[in-house]
Amino acid sequence: MQTAEGYYYTDTLGERTTDPVILIHGIGGSHLSWPAAMRKIRGRRTIVIDLPGHGSSEGTASQTIEGYSKSLDSVLKAAKVYRAIFVGYSLGAQIALHYSTIHPDRCAGLGLIASSAEPQVPARLLYLLNDAAASSAVRDLVCSLMFDPNTPPLKIKELEKILFTSRKSTIIADWRAFTEFRFPKIEDELPDTPIWICAARDDQLIPVRTLRELARRRPSLACTYVDHCGHGILVEQPDVVSRAFEENLLK
């Protein structure tokens, strides 16, 4: 585990002749949110970060994607990484996308997992998050948004451990940042960058129609649509996501 201005990250220190991979977790997560196969990619340097206020990192969570992008920049400087393949899940995908559009010369490839324009976040979620007496209602609502109805109970418990162990202030900040982010027109901002998107067909937070529209506007976009899971795609279908990632961004 390494540190940069109080931000923790893992670094496999692998092959230095290829662009490293940077993995950015989602709401309330940490570097352990990622499947083991993605945290340690054979022959490829892989850096997996804990955002401020998450996991082993110090500081406080940001309420904006822009704030998290600045934290990412601090880690990259400490790790002496200039150019990389950025892969994010959910909130982390928004951070990866924002950073890449601000620094297109530093982006060798972009992976967006469970992320698109117009996330369908119920307005009452942020209201409930701020109600100290509504923890049970919050858990029920978040679980209904995250999981496919047929998700095995053990998988649900695994993701609940990620979603509900962070400080409440961190969870609130993450949901606010996730909800307020405005998806840029990547066909204009990143016209030549290899981009891969991965989405669950039954995701209640990310409408698949928005991704299909994005793919229509950006024909070179690589797309993976995964069945039998919801927004918790990294926990529900980790092997499918890991294979698709390697096939589409590590060729």
Q: Note down pLDDT in tens along the chain; length 251 residues.
A: 556 567 888 888 776 778 999 999 999 999 999 999 999 888 899 999 999 999 889 889 999 999 999 999 989 998 899 999 999 999 999 999 999 999 999 999 999 999 987 788 888 888 888 887 778 888 888 888 888 777 888 878 877 777 777 888 898 899 999 998 988 888 888 888 999 999 999 898 888 888 888 888 888 889 999 998 899 999 999 999 999 999 999 87
Question: What are the residue ranges spanned by the domains of the chain?
Answer: 2-249
Question: ∠ CA 248-241-56 to the nearest 5 degrees?
Answer: 110
Query: How far from the centroid of its chain's Cα atoms is residue 75's Cα?
Result: 16
Give 183-192 contacts, CB < 8 A, sequence gap 24+: 183/94, 183/97, 183/116, 183/117, 183/118, 184/97, 184/98, 184/101, 185/217, 186/97, 186/101, 186/214, 186/218, 187/217, 187/218, 189/101, 189/104, 190/100, 190/101, 190/104, 190/107, 190/110
Measured CA to CA, the distance from residue 193 to residue 243 in angstroms comes to 20
Domain over 2-249 is classified CATH 3.40.50.1820: yes
pTM value is: 0.93
